[in-house]
Amino acid sequence: MTRFESAFTKGPALVAFITAGDGDTAANLDALVAGGADVIELGMPFTDPMADGPAIQKANLRSLAKGTTTADIFAQAAAFRQRHPDTPLVLMGYANPMTVRGSEWFAAECAKAGVDGVICVDIPSEEDAELGPALRAAGVDLIRLATPTTDAARLPDVLNGAGGFLYYVSVAGITGLQQAAQTSIEDAVTRLKAATDLPVAVGFGVRTPEQAAAIAKVADGVVVGSAFVDIIAEHGEQAAPHLEAFTRTLADAIHGAKEIAA
Amino acid sequence: MNNRSNSLRTGPDERGHFGQFGGRYVAETLMPLILDLEREYRAAQADNEFRAEFEHLLKHYVGRPSPLWLAERLTEELGGAKIYLKREDLNHTGAHKINNCIGQILLAKRMGKTKIIAETGAGQHGVATATVAALFGLPCTIFMGAVDVARQQPNVFRMKLLGAEVVAVESGARTLKDAMNEALRHWVANVHDTFYIIGTVAGPHPYPELVRDFQSVIGEEARAQILEAEGRLPDMLIAPVGGGSNAIGLFHPFLDDEGVEIVGVEAAGEGLDGKHAASLAGGKPGILHGNKTYLLQDEDGQITEAHSISAGLDYPGIGPEHSWLHDIGRVRYEPVTDAEALASFQKLTKLEGIIPALESAHAIAAAERIAPTLGKDKIIIVNCSGRGDKDIFTVAEALGVKL
Q: Are residues B320 and B187 in the same domain?
A: no
Alpha-carbon Rg for chain B, nearest whole angstrom, is 19
Q: Does A127 touch chain B (CB under 8 A)?
A: yes
Q: Are residues B267 and B157 in the same domain?
A: no
Chain B residues touching residue A149 (CB < 8 angstroms): 28-33, 191
Catalytic residue among A22, A41, A230, A244: A41
Q: Does residue B3 register a pLDDT over 60?
A: no
Q: Does residue A247 register a pLDDT over 50?
A: yes
Cα of A35 to nearest chain B Cα, Å = 31
Q: Does residue B127 register a pLDDT over 90?
A: yes
Please report the ipTM that was assigned to this predicted complex: 0.95
Q: Using one digit for the tens of pLDDT, what is the confidence trace for A25-67?
A: 999 999 999 999 999 999 999 999 999 999 999 999 999 999 9
Chain B residues touching residue A145 (CB < 8 angstroms): 27-28
Q: What is the pLDDT of residue B5?
A: 67
The amino acid present at A75, given as its one-letter code, is A
Measured CA to CA in angstroms, residue B102 lies from A84, B22, B56, B312, B332 at distances of: 57, 23, 10, 19, 30
Q: Does residue A260 register a pLDDT over 80?
A: no
| Inter-residue contact B247 to B224 (CB < 8 Å) | no
Q: Does B124 touch chain A (CB under 8 A)?
A: no
CA distance B171 to B18: 31
Size of interface A-B (CB pairs under 8 A): 116
Q: Report residue B1's pLDDT band, with 50, 70 and 90 as the boundaries.
A: very low
In this prediction, residues A183-200 reach a mean pLDDT of 96
Flag if A46 and B302 touch (Cβ within 8 Å).
Answer: yes
CA distance B47 to B40: 10
Q: Does residue B4 register a pLDDT over 80?
A: no
CA distance B323 to B10: 16
Q: Report residue A259's pLDDT band, with 50, 70 and 90 as the boundaries.
A: low
**Percentage of chain A lying above the pLDDT 70 cut:** 98
Flag if B33 and A57 touch (Cβ within 8 Å).
Answer: no
Q: What is the CATH number of the domain that holds B199?
A: 3.40.50.1100
In this prediction, residues B271-291 reach a mean pLDDT of 96
The domain ranges of chain A are 3-261
Least CB–CB distance from A149: residue in B191, B300, B303: B191
Q: Are residues B175 and B73 in the same domain?
A: no
Cα of A256 to nearest chain B Cα, Å = 31
Can you name the residues that pair with B290 across neighbouring β-strands? B25
Flag if B286 and A149 touch (Cβ within 8 Å).
Answer: no
Q: Is residue B182 part of a domain?
A: yes
CA distance B232 to A3: 70
Give me the sign of the Cα torsion angle B135, B139, B145, B148.
positive
Q: What is the pLDDT of residue A262?
A: 44
Q: Are residues B100 and B88 in the same domain?
A: no
Chain B residues touching residue A52 (CB < 8 angstroms): 185
Give me the domain span that covers residue B78. 65-94+216-399
Q: A52 CB contacts (<8 Å, ≥6 apart)?
A: A60, A174, A175, A176, B185
Cα of B398 to nearest chain A Cα, Å = 29
DSSP A89-142: EEEEE-HHHHHTT-HHHHHHHHHHHT--EEEETT--GGGGGGTHHHHHHTT-EE
Least CB–CB distance from A127: residue in B25, B184, B192: B25
Q: Does B32 touch chain A (CB under 8 A)?
A: yes
pTM: 0.96
Q: Which residue of chain B comes nearest to A125, CA vs CA?
A: B28
Structural domain count of chain B: 2
Q: Does residue B314 register a pLDDT over 90?
A: no
Residue among A56, A70, A143 at smallest CA distance from A106: A70
Boundary of a domain, candidates B159, B184, B206 = B206
In this prediction, residues B378-388 reach a mean pLDDT of 97
Q: Per CATH, is A3-261 categorized as 3.40.50.300?
A: no
Q: Are residues B288 and B223 in the same domain?
A: yes
Q: Using one digit for the tens of pLDDT, what is the confidence trace for A196-237?
A: 999 999 998 899 999 999 999 999 999 999 999 999 999 999
Q: Are residues B318 and B232 in the same domain?
A: yes
Q: Are residues B112 and B168 in the same domain?
A: yes
Q: Does residue B2 register a pLDDT over 80?
A: no
